[in-house]
Chains A and B, each alone.
Chain A
Amino acid sequence: MKPKRKKLITTLLVAVAVIAVIAGLYLYAGKEPFIRTTLSGLTLGSLFFMVAAGLSLIFGLMDVLNFAHGALFMLGAYMGWQLYTNPTFIFGMLPTVTAFTCGVLVSPVIKPFLIRWELPEQWQKTLPKIAYVLAIVLLILAFLNFNIMELASTAMVAATTTMVGNPLAEITPQEPLAQFWYRPVLLIISGLLVAFASSKPGVKTEFAPKEDLLKKAVPSILLFALTIIATLFRESAPIAILLMNGNLRFLIAIFVAVAFGFMFGALIEITLIRPLYVRPFFIVLMTLGLSFVIRELVQLLWDPLAYQMVRPPLFAQSGKAASLLEWLQNGNATINISGVTFPTYRLFVILLGFLMFVIVTIIMTKSRLGMIIRAGVQDPQMVEALGINVKRVFTFVFAFGVALATLGGIGAGPFLPIQPLMGDQFQMLGFITVVIGGMGSYVGAFVGAIILGMGRAFGDYFALKLSLSPAVSEASTVIIMVIVLLIKPQGLFGKKE
């Protein structure tokens, strides 16, 4: 019974301390500043959580420190901003991406046949190499004379002009279909070659059953259909999106950012991280390098500038709403919360963060997947020995973590400047959040994120009120971390191992 009593006493002490701190702040600052600062803290905390939750799960399950998380957060903001402001780039690129992926995903269907192919050993090695080289040649041919920079520039122009005018004004005419169609065709063939090479033809030691071939073919067939649709509607889809209601467009932007994050995350895990699990240190270097590559690519496409994303109409009308209902009816930019004027969009970010926490909690506690993740954090080998494909779970968790980060990115889009370095600060704070909350604990990530967000907000408040240096707010993060690590070195919700 002793450990139980000890736990009870600590919980009580912590509760008393927390209440005392909150009450002290309330009494000292007064009602209105307290509410305003708390809401700002929660806004920041929500964003921190969306970055930290992914970092924490990824580290807890696979011991991967993902230093590209901040860059992916930034990429999420860019993707959402692109779709919202001018989706010409996204829809211009879409058919090429789906075409190539469609080809690659044929691999599980052809693998069972290819590995049973009688092939001399020498050809087993050379044939894939030839296929890879051919695939690269086709890839280059497919993108030859394809003006990606021009596609990318549309949103840049739109961002500077659509404030006043009509968003449709900046739609640039694209390559006509008669000229464009060969690109997706070449890319499908290139993808098929990659699928052929990665299936290891003739290698008898590989294992691939001939079961469920039809089921395995489904993603590839779907992508093939999507390629045709995307090719045909390459030019009209952006116009259709821009004609939509701004709120709906923003919803689609969120969806696109999340879907992009999920798929890009899965791609990174399968192609870059999976071969390096045996060399953990290389993963750190690789993800760090990846973050530089992503940042440079973004700078290449959209110049190292900061863009301001226009807020969706629901958060844009001038005037203060007196209640939630009034805000939803009129779409006011600010809302009155017990006497405090607070931007409605930030309220939305808080809701988003809490919603994500609820969703992650449900997944982790109620689903079989969550059970596998919690078990895998402790012992992935044993999970595999039970007959569960742990590698696939790794891929999912990585993709899910990245999707949370990109969601954070697009969430931050409408109130932070969108620029190539916007994710770095969040990555840093995400890591600190994970350290405070405890590795591998999503609850810890949530609590840590809220604490850090509050520290930032109240740090800013006190800096202003007591005319201290503004660095107080940034120092608060480190001070909190030091205190937590002194008291609980494994983090607030970390397990001693």
Chain B
Amino acid sequence: MKEKIPREDILIVDNIHTFIGQFHILEGVSVRVPKGSITVLLGRNGAGKTTTLKSILGLTPPQEGKVIFEGAEIQGKRAFNVANLGIGYVPEHRAIFRALSVLENLKLAERKKGDFERSADFIFELFPDLKRLSKLPGNHLSGGQQQMLAVARALVPENKLLLIDEPSEGLAPILIQQMMEAIRVLSEKTTILLVEQNFIMASQLAQQFVIIDDGQSVRDGSMTDLVNDTGMIHQYLGASIKTRKELEMEHEAQA
């Protein structure tokens, strides 16, 4: 890791190993998340990005290694205890509760009485659609609306860190824009650790990156360095990913 300006890490994941059943999914993942920034986990499908988030939260507890949140070790704690320290989780595949109405989904996320009343204005300002749909059951929402709800749910209590898993997955381009904007607004309030396959989106949002490959964290650094390093991108993220530079060049060529 490069030496940079002294910074405060809200979350330090130190060489964790996680097994799911007999499968050794994470074989040494280390992530540092500086306070007040967006850090993105990159890597191919099945590399272990989602498992990393779940291991931080304690849903798939790591067998080895340390997870340090605000200076205290949290590995081995039950997930609800970890969440109550102030870590919000937005799972992949829009895992909202389909049998509950939008309002109930949000109310369920309360950790203290009155959490929802306090944050409602902010949430509905960020996602105006949800206010309109608040009485509908979750399974009547469109994919995009479900994703909004999944993010909104993590905003109900006051969180110091948000773990967001693939917010752009399966969304239409216009919704991706909206989601990006929402995440940018959120990053002004909390620290965010993001998993994102959409490289363009990731590169525009995040300040730091960590690349996970085959269950190991192989590279990390600042996003600006990565965007210019086409070789590294192609090596770890697949040749089909185009950097902004390449896209710009294509645009110029077309013009």
Q: Which residues of A contact B (CB under 8 A)?
A: 205, 207, 368, 371-372, 374-375, 377-379, 381-391, 495
Contact = CB atoms under 8 A, between A and B. Distances in A.
Interface string B33-73: 00000000000000000000000010100000000000000
Given A372-B108, A375-B100, A387-B111, A382 B76 contact: no
Contacts of A383: 108
Prevailing SS type, chain A contact patch: helix
B83 interface: yes
Nearest to A389: B80
B83 A387 contact: yes
Contacts of B219: none
B204 interface: no
A387 B100 contact: no
B173 to A, nearest CB: 27
The CB with the most chain B CB atoms within 10 A, among A375, A379, A387, is that of A387
Interface of B: 57, 59, 76-81, 83-84, 89, 91, 95, 97-100, 104-105, 107-109, 111, 153, 157
B91 A384 contact: no
Closest 9 CB pairs of A and B: A387-B83, A375-B97, A387-B84, A385-B89, A384-B79, A205-B76, A207-B77, A374-B99, A389-B80
Given A374-B99, A375-B108, A378-B98, A207 B76 contact: yes
A26 B79 CA distance: 57
B108 A386 contact: yes
A433 to B, nearest CB: 21
Contacts of B81: 207
Nearest to A388: B80
B91 A382 contact: yes
Contacts of A381: 59, 79
Contact of A385 (B57, B77, B104): B57
Given A207-B76, A207-B78, A371-B104, A386 B99 contact: no
B72 to A, nearest CB: 11
Contact of B99 (A368, A377, A388): A377
8 contacts: A378-B99, A382-B95, A384-B78, A385-B83, A385-B89, A386-B109, A386-B153, A387-B83
A385 B59 contact: yes
A35 B121 CA distance: 56
A368 B107 CA distance: 9
